[in-house]
Amino acid sequence: MRNPTYALLFGSVIALGLPLNAVSLYVLLCCHGLKSPSNVFMVNLAISDLLLVTSLPMRVYFYATGTWPLGPFACICVTMLFRNNIRSSSIFITFICVNRLLAVVYPLRSRHLRTSSNASKAAALVWLFVLAVNVPESVNMSRFFIDYNESSCFEFSQNRIPYRSAIDCVPPVVLLIMLAVNVVSTALVSWTLHRRLNDSARVNNTVNVMLIFVMNLVMFTVIFMPVTLGVRFEIWKPAHTPLLCLASVNCCLDPLLYYFSFDGFWKRKDDVDL
């Protein structure tokens, strides 16, 4: 189905998301390195967003021309890159949130947990989880293309999707759990900063600290939850593609809301961040 509006929207995301995430990744690696858990999670978040951006040109072509000449395998790969971004980004954002929670509420007791080594192990587990979820979903999608011989991509009829396996319910459940973690973390950090003014004074720029938590909630409630629940459970099918457009915007917001909200982002830092 040819739709130049969607092509324009996805093209705009590419124009903004590619340079923002490329510059952010360069600054994080060259100026900060992987010396703190926050940096490890943000580097992986930037990589996840860049992977999403690399898949969007294919969507632009599809919606601009209404054709998909690359076959089912390419369609599955592009679709998986899109879904993987929502999953990995939501997890890495939650890790950033939990790391900040431990740094503010339990600064001393959590020092042995908040290490770059532990963060790297957690990031590796995230990518393994994402790949594990890809397997059954890719198999289901391949069965769809074989059974129905669809020549298009992204716009196939929702009522003709093959049988959903139990693993298909894992991402929404995990997303709901992470939303709850973000809500609790936000409440605890806010309570701590208001209750212990003397201790909170040692936190660099408390406004930025709370901004990160607030924007975490915005990302989950406005971007991640609607597209995950709406598409997975086929709620209001006409909104399927608009929700995907909205979800792709997260790769443009991540650099602005998380990377640039940290003090001294452009400065070389040897100290461990919160």
DSSP state string for 225-246? HHHHHHHHTT-SGGGHHHHHHH
In this prediction, residue 173 has a pLDDT band, given cuts at 50, 70 and 90, of confident
Spell out the domains of the chain, with CATH numbers in brackets.
Answer: 4-256 (1.20.1070.10)
Please choose, from the candidates 46, 59, 53, 54, the residue with its C-alpha nearest in 3D space to the C-alpha of residue 88.
46
Share of the chain above pLDDT 90, in %: 26
Length of the chain in residues, anyone? Answer: 274
Whether pLDDT at 167 is above 60 = no
- Check if the beta carbon of residue 99 is closer than 8 Å to that of residue 37: yes
Q: What is the pTM of this model?
A: 0.85
- In this prediction, residues 201-212 reach a mean pLDDT of 67
What is the structure's pLDDT at 253?
Answer: 87
Better pLDDT: 258 or 43:
43
- Structure tokens belonging to residue 116: 């770059």
59-115 pLDDT tens trace: 999 888 888 888 888 888 888 898 899 889 999 999 999 998 998 888 888 888 899
What is the predicted pLDDT for the residue at 21?
Answer: 92
Long-range (24+ apart) CB contacts under 8 A made by 55-60 are 55/81, 55/82, 56/10, 56/11, 56/13, 56/14, 56/17, 56/248, 57/14, 59/6, 59/7, 59/10, 59/154, 60/7, 60/10, 60/11, 60/14
Rounded (10°) CA dihedral 107, 109, 115, 119:
-90
CB atoms within 10 A of CB 232: 14
Angle 73-242-18 from CA coordinates, rounded to 5°: 65
On the 0-12 / 13-18 / 19+ scale of CB atoms within 10 A, 268 is exposed
What pLDDT shows up at residue 135?
86
pLDDT band, residue 52 (cuts 50/70/90): very high
- Do the Cβ atoms of 16 and 252 come closer than 8 Å? yes
Burial of residue 240 (number of CB atoms within 10 Å: 0-12, 13-18, 19+)? middle
Tokens of 155: 């716009």
Q: Is the pLDDT of residue 166 over 50?
A: no
The confidence score (pLDDT) of residue 92 equals 93
